[in-house]
Amino acid sequence: MTTIELDEVIVEVAADGGPSRRRLLGPVSTRLTEHRVSVIGANGSGKSTLLRLLNGLSLATSGRVTVAGRDVKTDGAAVRRLVGFGFTDPLSQLVMPTGREDVELSLRRSHRDRDTRRKAAEAVLLRFGLGHLADQSIYELSGGERQLMALTALLATDPEALVLDEPSTLLDLRNTMLLRRALTALPQTLVFATHDLEHALEAERTLVIEDGLVAFDGDPAGAVQYYRARAEALG
């Protein structure tokens, strides 16, 4: 299991033009050691900001984020090799025209020789049952196939942990189930944000984010109950 630690983390951005700063997140201190951690919360609550910290896509204004003991700020490249990051929209994730090419792009660093890279890509695609879709344009794939392809491209480099930002938000029920099944089978440590509360319940631990702060941290059932009660109170 990969340990992820946040120590007094604050993320702030400059407010439009002015000298004042707007706080998006924090202060947050937590230590994640579970195999499956879900993150729930309203739109704009800071879920994405929190997740983006975990592989250095965003950097903390103050405080420290470490993954397996490595500081995200000073050792970003090493952290990104450990942690794969998945976006809500797989089309933002897939930068190449076909899935195969995208998987090969992931493998460029580890496999310098083209033939071994080809074989490795083929093996990865077959492992996830996507061999028959590998040469199709990513635009021709269904939403679910596309998300699985994006996931495959992430897993090609064998990361230790995956951070997924609302991976099922754009998917219909069948594809959501397909994705969830694929995720359950993964040996990787998984931290994911979701609006699918059923999915959130499958974790071992759940964080509820509210106005940039961790409002609840604990067992998923309790977290979902808390989140529902809050939404109704504000309703």
Partner 1 sequence: MTTGRATRGFGLFGSPVPGHSLVHRAPLWVKFGFVLLVGVSTFVVRDWRVSAAVCGVVLLVHLASGLGLRRLMRSLAPLLPILVVLTGFQWWSHDLPFAARLVLGILAAYVAAGILTATTPVDQLLDGIVWAARPARRWVDPETVALTISIMLRSIPWIAGAFGDVRESAKARGLERSPRAVILPAVIHTVAYARRTGDALAARGLGDPR
What residues line the site for partner 1 (CB under 8 A)?
55-57, 76-77, 80-81, 84-85, 87, 89, 91-97, 101, 104-106, 108-109, 114, 117, 135, 137, 139-140, 153-154
Q: Half-sphere exposure of residue 164, counting CA atoms within 13 Å on the CB side?
A: 30
Minimum CB distance to partner 1 smaller for 45 or for 106: 106
Minimum CB distance to partner 1 smaller for 57 or for 223: 57
Minimum CB distance to partner 1 smaller for 102 or for 196: 102
Write down the least CB distance from residue 171 to partner 1, Å: 16
The span from the CA of 33 to the CA of 16, in Å, is 37
Minimum CB distance to partner 1 smaller for 161 or for 224: 161
Q: Residues with Cβ < 8 Å from 132, sequence gap 6 or more?
A: none
Write down the least CB distance from residue 91 to partner 1, Å: 6
Minimum CB distance to partner 1 smaller for 123 or for 231: 123
Minimum CB distance to partner 1 smaller for 96 or for 197: 96
Rg (CA), the chain: 18
Minimum CB distance to partner 1 smaller for 71 or for 202: 71
Q: DSSP string spanning the chain?
A: ---EEEEEEEEEEE-SSSS-EEEEEEEEEEEE-SSEEEEEE-TTSSHHHHHHHTTTSS--SEEEEEETTEETTTSHHHHHHHEEEE-SSHHHH--SSBHHHHHHHHHTTT--SHHHHHHHHHHHHHHTT-GGGTTSBGGGS-HHHHHHHHHHHHHTT--SEEEEESTTTT--HHHHHHHHHHHHT--SEEEEE-S-HHHHHTSSEEEEEETTEEEEEE-HHHHHHHHHHHHHHH-
Write down the least CB distance from residue 234 to partner 1, Å: 30
Write down the least CB distance from residue 22 to partner 1, Å: 19
Write down the least CB distance from residue 84 to partner 1, Å: 8
Write down the least CB distance from residue 141 to partner 1, Å: 11
Write down the least CB distance from residue 152 to partner 1, Å: 13
